[in-house]
Amino acid sequence: MVGVGAVKLEERLKSQARALGFDLVGIARIGPVETAPQFAEWLSRGFAGDMAYLARGAEKRADPRRVLENVRSAVVVGMNYGGAEPPGPVARYARGDDYHDVMATRLHELHAWLNAEVGRDVSGKAYVDTGPILERDLARKAGLGWFGKNTMLVNPDIGSFFFIGSLLLDLELAPDAPFEADRCGTCTRCLDACPTDAFVAPRMLDATRCVSYLTIELKGDIPEELHAGVGENVYGCDICQDVCPWNVRFSRDLKEPAFEPRAAISGKDSRQLATELLAMSQDEFSTAFRKSPMKRAKLRGLQRNAAVVLRNQSSG
């Protein structure tokens, strides 16, 4: 879409996205994905571990035009989840309600608003960390940030503690300039801080050694040699983000009520949380963690993690 009216539409669209609670918003032109070859190499090296679903839909990941017929643009958004909140046994992103649901609902609202604005039903599809698209690539293309050495997307205004979502549209929108700069410089704090040495190189993560993978995605036992690296992390890990200078300086307070820590987590240290999880029944777990992203690990996975954390404390 071109012309003065189109410019106004992009501006109104971004304003509406911010009104819906998104902290970042940009527009990307759809086309072949620049990082597809690196992603394919990452998969071939076995770094995805048990996450076999990541290998599905390779053709679509390489080019979002295969995801949605006649797709022309992507509205890419970011939502802060409180990097300035204190560290704890649960990664900040998982302390409240499931971000997939929260963000997908807002993206659907944005889509409905857009339909009303243009006076027709625009074909579109919302993705929040799901589906066969490489959202970091779209986000960089939409100007939201650069790939940090810990593989996280870093924004110069709010750091990296934010979720990414995308709305693919059959609508021509004026794109934003891609984020071309690499502002990590010579810094290697994220790489040096990883307790399990999961980074084989800058921007190359062996997920099978990552604490987040070990405590969330891994289905079996956590390898004995990595127990110490898990430390006091019951679910997920924020260490490589905590030490990033961009987060130290620019992380924001939590403003979205849906991401406030639930009662089962709030104010609890790793020992208390681990002890309670080990004593929890399935029914108690289902009630306490309703709508929580932590349900992904299931009770048995969280109890596995809890046992490792308590052993680490007893041997420390």
Query: Among all residues, which ones are annotated catalytic?
Result: 129
**DSSP secondary structure letters along 194-241:** -TT--EEETTEE-GGG-HHIIIII--SPPPGGGHHHHTT-SB---HHH
Which residues neighbour 291 within 8 Å (Cβ) at sequence distance 6 or greater? Answer: 97, 98, 101
Write down the H helix ranges in the chain.
4-19, 36-44, 58-62, 99-118, 135-141, 189-193, 211-212, 227-230, 239-242, 245-250, 270-278, 282-288, 298-315
Taking CA atoms, 163 is separated from 91, 136, 271, in Å, by: 13, 10, 28
Q: How far is CA 266 from CA 175, 205, 230, 262, 309, in A?
A: 41, 30, 20, 6, 18
What does the block give as tokens for 221? 């036992």
Residue 127 is inside which H or E element, if any?
strand 124-127
Buried b (16+ CB within 10 A) or exposed e, 137-153: bbbbbbbbbbbbbbbbb
